[in-house]
């Protein structure tokens, strides 16, 4: 997942999630599908020329996963 985001290979990200993926509470808008999540990742790459995603911790319980991560980059876009 990190590698896919960091190399802007969103096919890796797409292969890591189910179509009914839901994202909550990272400080921005929620995503209610994998397609919405992919679009938000594209927006990050558009806004942050050198975006780097680093997973700090991942915890799972059944079909739920919580991820603590750091996203770094220089804002150069929209």
Confidence tier at 26 by pLDDT (50, 70, 90): low
Confidence tier at 25 by pLDDT (50, 70, 90): confident
- Per residue in 61-78, pLDDT (tens digit) is 998 999 999 999 999 987
Exposure pattern of 9-28 as b/e (b: 16+ CB <10 Å)?
ebeebbeebeeebebeeeee
Q: What is the pLDDT of residue 49?
A: 84
Hey, where are the domains in the chain? 2-72
56 pLDDT more than 90 = yes
Question: Is CATH 3.10.450.50 the classification given to domain 2-72?
Answer: yes
Q: What is the pLDDT of residue 29?
A: 78
């Amino acid at each position: 997942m990190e590698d896919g985001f960091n190399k802007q290979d969103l096919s890796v990200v797409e292969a890591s999630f189910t179509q009914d993926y839901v994202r909550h509470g990272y400080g921005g808008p929620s995503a209610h599908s994998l397609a919405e999540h992919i679009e938000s990742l594209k927006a990050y790459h558009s806004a942050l020329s050198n975006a780097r995603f680093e997973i700090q911790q991942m915890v799972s319980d059944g079909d739920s996963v919580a991820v603590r991560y750091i996203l770094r980059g220089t804002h150069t876009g929209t």
